[in-house]
Structure 1
Amino acid sequence: MFRRLKWFIAGLNQHHKTPKPKPDAKRLSLPRHRYNITNRKSMLEAVHEVAIYIHRFHNLDLFQQGWYQIKITMRWEDTEYASSVGTPSRVIQYDAPDLGSDDVLGVWKIDDTDNSFSSQPFRIRYARQDILLSVMISFNLSLGKFEGPITSAVILKFELLYAPVLENGSNMQDSSDVSPAAVHEFRIPPKALLGLHSYCPVHFDAFHSVLVDASVHISLLKGGVHTMKKHSSNSHSNEEASSEKYDKKTQVSLVKAFSTSRAVLLQELRNLSKAINETVDLTGLTSQHEVDTETANADSHVSENMQNVSKIPHSTVDFSSEYLYSLQSDELNRLFHSLGDQILYLWSTFLKFHRANKTKILDHLRNAWAIDRKAEWSIWMVYSKVEMPHQSTDIDDSAYHGLRGKVPAHRKITEDPAQAAAMRAELHRRSIAQMRINNCSLQDLQIFGDPSRIPIIIVERVVNAPLLSLSGNTYFRNTDPEDSNGTITRIDPSFSSTNQKSRILKIAVYVHGFQGHHLDLRLVRNQWLLIDPKVEFLMSEVNEDKTSEDFRDMGLRLAKEVIAFVKKKMDKASRSGTLKNVKLSFVGHSIGNVIIRTALAESIMEPYHRYLHTYVSVSGPHLGYLYSSNSLFNSGLWLLKKLKNTRCIHQLTFTDDIDIENTFFYNLSKQKTLESFKNIILLSSPQDGYVPYHSARIEMCQSSSGDYSKRGKIFQEMLNNCLEQIRAPSSEQRMFMRCDVNFDTSLQGRNLNTIIGRAAHIKFLETDIFAKFIMWSFPELFR
Structure 2
Amino acid sequence: IIFSSFYQAKEKFKKDLKIEGYLYSDLSVLASDTPYFPPEEEEENLEDGIHLVVCVHGLDGNSADLRLVKTFIELGLPGGKLDFLMSEKNQMDTFADFDTMTDRLLDEIIQHIQLYNLSISRISFIGHSLGNIIIRSVLTRPRFRYYLNKLHTFLSLSGPHLGTLYNNSTLVSTGLWLMQKLKKSGSLLQLTFRDNADLRKCFLYQLSQKTGLQYFKNVVLVASPQDRYVPFHSARIEMCKTALKDRHTGPVYAEMINNLLGPLVAAKDCTLIRHNVFHALPNTANTLIGRAAHIAVLDSELFLEKFFLVAGLNYFK
TM-score by length of 2: 0.88
C-alpha offsets along residues 546-594 of structure 1, whole Å, 9 cap, x if unaligned? Answer: 100110110111011111212344x354xxxxxxx61101111110101
Q: 1:368 to 1:531 in 2, by over 3 A?
A: closer
- The correspondence of residues 173-212 of structure 1 with structure 2, limited to 5 A, is 190=20, 192-193=21-22
Q: Are 1:739 and 2:275 matched, yes or no? A: yes
User: Alignment partner for residue 752 of structure 1, among 264, 269, 285?
Assistant: 285
CA contact (8 A) 1:531 1:782 kept: no
CA contact (8 A) 1:678 1:735 kept: yes
Q: Which amino acid aligns with 2:137?
A: T
User: Alignment partner for residue 140 of structure 1, among 12, 20, 23?
Assistant: 12
Aligned to 2:256: 718
- Provide the C-alpha distance between the structure 1 equivalents of 2:253 and 2:18, rounded to a whole number of angstroms: 56
Secondary structure in structure 2 of the residue aligned to 1:700 = coil
- The correspondence of residues 85-484 of structure 1 with structure 2, limited to 5 A, is 89-90=5-6, 138-141=10-13, 143=15, 154=19, 190=20, 192-193=21-22, 216-218=24-26, 268=28, 365-367=32-34
Secondary structure in structure 1 of the residue aligned to 2:152 = strand
- Provide the C-alpha distance between the structure 2 equivalents of 1:142 and 1:714, rounded to a whole number of angstroms: 67
User: Alignment partner for residue 523 of structure 1, among 68, 71, 79?
Assistant: 68
CA contact (8 A) 2:298 2:304 kept: no
User: Alignment partner for residue 106 of structure 2, among 540, 543, 559?
Assistant: 559
User: Alignment partner for residue 763 of structure 1, among 296, 306, 312?
Assistant: 296
Q: Are 1:775 and 2:308 matched, yes or no? A: yes
Aligned to 1:603: 142
CA contact (8 A) 2:51 2:122 kept: yes
Q: Which amino acid aligns with 1:510?
A: C
- The correspondence of residues 484-503 of structure 1 with structure 2, limited to 5 A, is 502-503=47-48
- Provide the C-alpha distance between the structure 2 equivalents of 1:589 and 1:644, rounded to a whole number of angstroms: 21
- Provide the C-alpha distance between the structure 1 equivalents of 2:229 and 2:199, rounded to a whole number of angstroms: 22
Q: Are 1:507 and 2:174 matched, yes or no? A: no
- Provide the C-alpha distance between the structure 1 equivalents of 2:303 and 2:122, rounded to a whole number of angstroms: 23
- Provide the C-alpha distance between the structure 2 equivalents of 1:703 and 1:583, rounded to a whole number of angstroms: 39
Q: Which amino acid aligns with 1:366?
A: D
Q: For residue 367 of structure 1, report the CA deviation from its aligned partner.
A: 4.7
- Provide the C-alpha distance between the structure 2 equivalents of 1:664 and 1:693, rounded to a whole number of angstroms: 20
Q: 1:366 to 1:669 in 2, by over 3 A?
A: same
C-alpha offsets along residues 723-768 of structure 1, whole Å, 9 cap, x if unaligned? Answer: 11322534x3x232111111111xx22x421221011112222123
Q: 1:140 to 1:764 in 2, by over 3 A?
A: same
Q: 1:368 to 1:524 in 2, by over 3 A?
A: closer
User: Alignment partner for residue 658 of structure 1, among 193, 197, 211?
Assistant: 197
In the alignment of these two chains, the number of paired residues is: 306
User: Alignment partner for residue 222 of structure 2, among 679, 683, 692?
Assistant: 683
CA contact (8 A) 2:50 2:118 kept: no
Q: Which amino acid aligns with 2:98?
A: F
Q: Which amino acid aligns with 1:554?
A: M
Aligned to 1:536: 83
CA contact (8 A) 2:159 2:230 kept: yes
CA contact (8 A) 1:510 1:588 kept: yes
Determine what percentage of the aligned residue pairs are the same residue.
Answer: 37
C-alpha offsets along residues 165-190 of structure 1, whole Å, 9 cap, x if unaligned? Answer: xxxxxxxxxxxxxxxxxxxxxxxxx4
In terms of fraction of residues, the more strand-rich structure is: 1
Q: Which has the higher contact order (CA 8 A, sep 6+)?
A: 2
In terms of fraction of residues, the more helix-rich structure is: 2
- Provide the C-alpha distance between the structure 2 equivalents of 1:153 and 1:605, rounded to a whole number of angstroms: 62
Q: 1:587 to 1:91 in 2, by over 3 A?
A: same
Q: Are 1:727 and 2:272 matched, yes or no? A: no
Q: Are 1:589 and 2:103 matched, yes or no? A: no
Q: For residue 142 of structure 1, report the CA deviation from its aligned partner.
A: 5.5
C-alpha offsets along residues 535-554 of structure 1, whole Å, 9 cap, x if unaligned? Answer: 10001011011100110110
C-alpha offsets along residues 388-436 of structure 1, whole Å, 9 cap, x if unaligned? Answer: xxxxxxxxxxxxxxxxxxxxxxxxxxxxxxxxxxxxxxxxxxxxxxxxx
- Provide the C-alpha distance between the structure 2 equivalents of 1:153 and 1:684, rounded to a whole number of angstroms: 45
C-alpha offsets along residues 39-68 of structure 1, whole Å, 9 cap, x if unaligned? Answer: xxxxxxxxxxxxxxxxxxxxxxxxxxxxxx
- Provide the C-alpha distance between the structure 1 equivalents of 2:180 and 2:45, rounded to a whole number of angstroms: 57
CA contact (8 A) 1:508 1:536 kept: yes
CA contact (8 A) 1:775 1:782 kept: no
CA contact (8 A) 1:524 1:768 kept: no
Q: 1:667 to 1:142 in 2, by over 3 A?
A: closer
Q: Which amino acid aligns with 2:316?
A: F
- Provide the C-alpha distance between the structure 2 equivalents of 1:688 and 1:561, rounded to a whole number of angstroms: 30
C-alpha offsets along residues 202-251 of structure 1, whole Å, 9 cap, x if unaligned? Answer: xxxxxxxxxxxxxx2228xxxxxxxxxxxxxxxxxxxxxxxxxxxxxxxx
- Provide the C-alpha distance between the structure 1 equivalents of 2:7 and 2:200, rounded to a whole number of angstroms: 72
- Provide the C-alpha distance between the structure 2 equivalents of 1:217 and 1:500, rounded to a whole number of angstroms: 31
- Provide the C-alpha distance between the structure 2 equivalents of 1:753 and 1:546, rounded to a whole number of angstroms: 24
C-alpha offsets along residues 138-173 of structure 1, whole Å, 9 cap, x if unaligned? Answer: 3534559xxxxxxx985xxxxxxxxxxxxxxxxxxx
Q: Which amino acid aligns with 2:314?
A: E
Aligned to 1:13: none
User: Alignment partner for residue 95 of structure 2, among 530, 548, 570?
Assistant: 548
Secondary structure in structure 1 of the residue aligned to 2:275 = strand
- The correspondence of residues 1-150 of structure 1 with structure 2, limited to 5 A, is 89-90=5-6, 138-141=10-13, 143=15
- Provide the C-alpha distance between the structure 2 equivalents of 1:537 and 1:643, rounded to a whole number of angstroms: 34
Gaps of 5+ in 2: 37-43
- Provide the C-alpha distance between the structure 1 equivalents of 2:293 and 2:173, rounded to a whole number of angstroms: 17
Secondary structure in structure 1 of the residue aligned to 2:89 = coil
Q: For residue 777 of structure 1, report the CA deviation from its aligned partner.
A: 2.5
Q: For residue 365 of structure 1, report the CA deviation from its aligned partner.
A: 3.5
Q: For residue 520 of structure 1, report the CA deviation from its aligned partner.
A: 0.3
Secondary structure in structure 2 of the residue aligned to 1:739 = strand
CA contact (8 A) 1:556 1:598 kept: no
C-alpha offsets along residues 314-351 of structure 1, whole Å, 9 cap, x if unaligned? Answer: xxxxxxxxxxxxxxxxxxxxxxxxxxxxxxxxxxxxxx
Q: Which of these two proteins has the greater Rg computed from alpha carbons?
A: 1
Aligned to 1:642: 181
Q: Which amino acid aligns with 1:720?
A: N
Q: Which amino acid aligns with 1:716?
A: A
